Chains A and B, each alone.
Chain A
Amino acid sequence: MKAQSFTQARQAAPAAHHGHPHESARLHVAGEATYVDDIRELAGTAHAALGLSTQAHARIVAIELDAVRAMPGVIAVFTAADIPGTNDCGPIIHDDPILADGVVHYVGQPLFAVVADSHEHARRAARRAKVSYEPLPAVLDPLQAKAQNSFVLPPMQLVRGEPAARLAAAPRRLRGSWQVGGQEQFYLEGQISYAVPREDGCIHLWCSTQHPTEMQHVVSHALGLAANQVVVEMRRMGGGFGGKESQSALFACVAALAAARLRRPVKLRPDRDDDFMITGKRHDFHYEYEVGFDDEGRILAARIEMVARAGFSADLSGPVATRAICHFDNAYYLADVDIRALCARTNTQSNTAFRGFGGPQGAVAIEYIIDSIARELGRDALDVRKLNFYGGAGRDLTPYGQRVEDNVIHELVAELEADSAYRERRRAITAYNAGSPVLKKGLALTPVKFGISFNVAHYNQAGALVHVYTDGSVLVNHGGTEMGQGLNTKVCQVVAHTLGIALAQVRATAADTSKVANTSATAASTGADLNGKAAEDAARRIRQRLADFVAQRHGIDADAVRFADDHVHAGAVAIPFAECVQQAYQARVQLWSEGFYTTPGLSWDRSTLTGRPFYYFAYGAAVAEVLVDTLTGEWRLLRADLLHDAGNSINPAIDVGQVEGAFIQGMGWLTMEELWWNKDGRLMTHAPSTYKIPAAHDCPAEFHTRLFRNSNHEETILRSKAVGEPPLLLGFAVLFALRDAVTAVGDGRSAPPLRAPATPEAILDAIDAVRAACAHTAAEPQP
């Protein structure tokens, strides 16, 4: 294992562009970082648990709750009828009941909440309800939903050029179907909300959420309160990954409902199984595609229909499908395309945001197609990928009409290809496979281009508050939420950098809807871009006031005042920052400020799916080498090489952590993480005992990660680039390395039908398919 390539200065580390530890690192390791369940409970705190549907689709004939009420410690039971306001917590379309009313739409849907004197009592009581159902027909498969024309939203389609004609005219064509599975977020800290009633009907809510403002809205709607009666506070999450963007709402609403009704504090912490059963996951996608290409592998036209499992309600499926459409191109110029996306309504959990937000599902499809083209032609897949990259005359316009102006994919891939010794290893692997009867190696390099910004323009805004206190210490509050990604660290770095003070002088507070209002979700990788800029704006306003004050006092021009090294420099005079602040206070200078930011230049036409949805693109590439057992389908990742573009990184250590973590998470999605529903629509993989995310041995022994030397050509915060989601797509390399290894079982020319997640069973199925195909021409190669 090699050390990473960011440098650690020994002294006087600069605030920005330096690998500072996470602002909570010392608290994390000491067990002193406070999550919602760690907040000292107020006296009289009660605990809620949810009673869940056991049916995938049914009319509720009766709910018998007397047995629940009779259980030890039970205080109250609430159903939909007890909600004074709107029984809905849907983020966009209002089709998400908080508690089921009349009909249940999936196994796991909450029917009622029981409140008891302890978590344990509430959980036990919740199991005692007797519900009689009248079953209704359930649709459990997205393709079945498509066949029945059952969608949560109208179909979306983006067409450019004349794909049908160009496909018909193409010298070569491939068509097929494929699928990738869903993925549970598996944040280590589950969903949780703790609601405390305050005076005059107000509610204070601690909630593990990526979207405090949305929680404020849904709680106020559910309880019939004004927004100014609900305060949502969020210090940190134990992971979010998209799963706490919209879907923390149900828990927030139930905790708030119970607290308001009982006039006592109520905490709702579903246990891990309930969390899995209730909440939505990454959408699984099913594809039908056709591609036309030339003899070298250059794509001439492509057509794809993507069917996403939306689940029982819309939730964020619309924007997810939009992002899938906008990432089908990945790093490739597709001249004539027809991209269609359908959000299938199924009687399963309502699928939602998960790191990448449809982007990975869009991009992985074109990678599968290109990989298939390469195998069809007997070419190295990397060569076919390069041939299709954006770049060159007339090859820089995305299907949705945005010009790719910051393209670095050629340089980035060339650098990784050389650094990872891709060609030498390709030769070595070919030789190994020729002499290895049972085990086969595979190698793949896959690129990433990922658009940064919310597709919906108005979400691209942020606010911040910076307070400079008279001792020179600084407190920053902003609209983003800390879920482990290091947002608070970066925002503190920006503020320290702007004020020319040491990072240790700046502290970030909890996100709080009573401080910065009308915040956007911390999502779409935009947290640091938006909130960093807003905090910079606030810090600059204070800096300007200090500069004016110092300039006047020392008789120099305000523009000549510099802020650096914990001092304010006015010509030859250097005043310690704290002293300067004290003087300014005495002179009645305002030492706190708000800041605000909106991303410039965005446009999006929802009807045509065209415009400029993204401020810029982030790039990356990964090389993976795997070893596959052709008898059982078991495999190991032997080595991974990652090169990722984080622009001029604010914190290279944190960004490397994001890149590595996203790569492993993307690998997990495409290999071992399998969601499995039984024939009754019950999710049977609902805890870490049955749902397997990568563990320690899945980290490759040889793992090289570097950040690509780059600067954002747009004027982003300190010229950095967003890094949360894009590197998740680096995990593609593992899937295609597995496919490469499977191909080695046959003649090298057939493209194995390897579905994802590529579990050992899926890999063995693909191996058997290759062997069956080869059996037509030759005897089956058996060790």
Chain B
Amino acid sequence: MNTDAIRLLLNGEPVDVTGIAPTTSLLAWLRIHRGLTGTKEGCAEGDCGACTVVVGELAGDTDSLRLFSVNACIQFMPALDGKAVFTVEYLRRQAEDRLHPVQQAMVDCHGSQCGFCTPGFVMSLWDLYNACVPDGTRPDAARISSQLTGNLCRCTGYRPILEAGQRMFEHPAQALDREAVRAALLRLRRSEALDYAHDGAHFFAPRTLEALIELRSRHPQATVLAGCTDIGLWVNKQFRDVGDLLYIGQVEALQQVVEARGRLRIGAAVSLSDAFAALCLPYPELGELWERFASPPVRNAGTLGGNVANGSPIGDSMPALIALGAEVVVHGPGGRRSLPLEAFYLDYMRKDLAADEIVEAVEVPVHESALRFRSWKLSKRFDSDISAVCGAFALRLEDGVVRGPRIAFGGMAATPRRALRTEAAIDGRRWDEDTLTAALRALAEDYAPLSDLRASADYRRRTAAALLRRFYLETRAQDPLDAQQTRVFAAFDSFAAQP
């Protein structure tokens, strides 16, 4: 069969790949087909980081080089077409067979014990190193921790690795030749959209929205693929046959964040990293949620559009987006339609989305007047944990009276859902202890959560109320408490302010 080859840059060298299933993971390809065994499999679900590699791609009008870490275990090979992949083996080559400063710092700080997670940590640190070295900035301790939340280490307790994240800048700088990578990627650029096929399964990577819509109507059974952070698990863990894949990551129009007419329009292929960065400008209150949303490699690959379109009852972006009054833009052969995000979710994993439609964008209003807004999640671990409960609260106060409240929760029902009774109980009332009491009573009527491995129904009920109480304490007119008094993670609020 004639098919396009997947063309990528592996550790600086162009490589053509054919003869593998479109769902072959980058990790399997590296280890089995290329013998590059430095990248490890720890979980095959994007949760341990032992397989972390760095990907480079051309971005924007100027084709600048963007580098970011991803989990190789949940990246399908054809999605890397036209991109650069760097594995741990590259670093020593870059340093002319000496250890790279990142690696040397890890040795100096005794940052490895069993060593199995180490290449993943090295690559996460190298990603940070590349971000800092060109302009001479140095990350503070908080940023280093944040960079490493997707890498699990069972031996060290992290302290020496975090220290290595600082010490790596003390060695003579070893800057990546970004221009060479960029030039090589320009040479790889193909003139036509990729149509990769193997054994009857296709991987389409259209370039334009029109082509995407057209392909979607021709292949309504195909699986729409964006960041692969969820669909990768369907394949690795559930052995699902995903059929043909329709990849939206090459559609230019879906990669954009545009602010116009008081709305932030986030294209469906915009990564969670970029989406949160854009959302945190008008809504710095999202900083803690951003920090706790998955991990850098997952946020770099995964998309906000995918999180929304997937519609998991515990997806962490939806309560906040619903509270902010976000709309989802759906596009099919008949054109576009917009609907409030909460209306998009019909039932457990069921959405108002026809087989020939795709999610094109999420539009979030940027409120002009002072919106009191918060969104928090609760989980057993701070970093990269699926929430037991995720709540979001938005309202305005006019002379101490609540106006237009929007409250939504994840983890409390089969879909992310608004707390309509609670909203009704506070709308138009003074924001005081009595109103809170009424709100808490209403909240108990709004949801009937379940017990599972993350929490009991009782805990979900109690803490949904606790989050509402916390929101009240922080936003009440009389003597509001600041974050330092209400939240153990308040220090991380500064995250949103980081470059």
Contacts and interface: CB of A to CB of B under 8 A. Distances in A.
Nearest to A688: B47
Interface stretch (B60-68, B178-186, B374-382): B374-382
Contacts of A629: 486-488
Contacts of A189: 40, 42, 114, 116
Interface in A99-135: 120, 123-124, 127
A661 B91 contact: no
B385 to A, nearest CB: 5
Contact of B116 (A238, A632, A693, A697): A238
Contacts of B91: 30
A695 B384 contact: yes
B313 to A, nearest CB: 15
20 contacts: A24-B115, A29-B106, A127-B239, A188-B50, A189-B114, A238-B40, A238-B114, A437-B485, A438-B481, A439-B486, A631-B467, A634-B378, A653-B110, A660-B159, A661-B157, A688-B42, A697-B383, A703-B159, A705-B159, A764-B463
Nearest to A690: B453
Given A26-B107, A654-B110, A627 B141 contact: no
Interface stretch (B147-155, B264-272, B359-367, B407-415): B147-155
Given A438-B486, A632-B378, A699-B157, A30 B453 contact: no
B441 interface: no
Given A28-B115, A692-B381, A698-B158, 6 more contacts: A26-B103, A29-B99, A236-B115, A665-B157, A692-B380, A764-B466
Contacts of B381: 672, 692, 694-695, 698
B223 interface: no
A688 B156 CA distance: 17
Interface residues of A, number: 92
Contacts, number: 268
Interface residues of B, number: 89
A664 B157 contact: yes
B155 A484 contact: yes
Interface string A684-712: 11011110111111110101010000000
A22 B110 contact: yes
Nearest to B112: A28
B42 A188 contact: yes
A40 B489 CA distance: 46
A635 B459 CA distance: 16
A484 B239 contact: no
Contact of B115 (A1, A238, A699): A238
Nearest to B116: A238
Chain B CB within 10 Å, residue with most, of A28, A271, A689: A28
Pairs A-B, 7 closest by C-beta atoms:
A31-B38, A484-B114, A238-B116, A28-B115, A664-B157, A31-B88, A484-B113
Contacts of A31: 36-39, 87-89, 118-119, 122
A656 B163 CA distance: 14
Given A188-B50, A693-B152, A761 B455 contact: yes
B145 A697 contact: yes
Contact of A676 (B38, B111, B382, B453): B453
A583 to B, nearest CB: 36
B190 interface: no
B114 A236 contact: yes
Contacts of A684: 452-453
A425 B481 CA distance: 24
Contact of B380 (A654, A674, A687): A674
A25 B109 CA distance: 10
B488 A30 contact: no
A7 to B, nearest CB: 14
B380 A29 contact: no
Contact of B467 (A438, A632, A761): A632
B45 interface: yes
B485 A273 contact: no
B470 A438 contact: yes
Given A19-B110, A188-B116, A695 B99 contact: no
Contacts of B36: 31
Contacts of A628: 488
Nearest to A241: B154
Interface string A369-412: 00000000000000000000000000000000000000000000
Interface string B255-291: 0000000000000000000000000000000000000
A687 B155 contact: no
From B28, B43, B119, B122, residue with most partner A Cβ within 10 Å: B43
Nearest to B107: A25
A278 to B, nearest CB: 16
Contacts of B336: none
Nearest to A20: B110
B162 A634 contact: no
Interface in B455-499: 455-456, 459, 462-463, 466-467, 469-470, 473, 481, 485-489
Interface centre among B36, B102, B236, B467 (most CB of A within 10 A): B236
A46 to B, nearest CB: 14
B156 A29 contact: no
A662 B39 CA distance: 26
Interface centre among B39, B141, B453, B485, by most A CB within 10 Å? B453
A192 B158 CA distance: 26
A437 B104 CA distance: 47
Interface string B431-457: 000000000000000000000111110
A31 B35 CA distance: 12
A631 B459 CA distance: 11
A187 interface: yes
Nearest to A127: B239
Given A660-B156, A695-B382, A634 B488 contact: yes
B155 A661 contact: yes
A27 B155 CA distance: 17
A631 B471 CA distance: 11
Interface string A414-440: 000000000000000000000011110
A25 B112 contact: yes
A473 B470 CA distance: 66
B237 interface: yes
A701 B163 CA distance: 11
B112 A22 contact: yes
B160 interface: yes
B122 A21 contact: no
Contacts of A322: none
A783 B485 CA distance: 11
Interface in A29-73: 29-35, 37-38, 40
A732 interface: no
Contacts of B251: none
Interface centre among A31, A238, A629 (most CB of B within 10 A): A31
B482 to A, nearest CB: 11
Contacts of B385: 692
Given A188-B152, A663-B157, A764 B115 contact: no
A760 interface: yes
Contacts of A124: 239
Given A188-B114, A634-B378, A760-B378, A685 B453 contact: yes
A238 B119 CA distance: 12
B201 to A, nearest CB: 14
Contacts of A28: 106, 112, 115, 118-119
Given A186-B154, A634-B378, A697-B149, A272 B45 contact: yes
B44 A272 contact: yes
B155 A1 contact: no
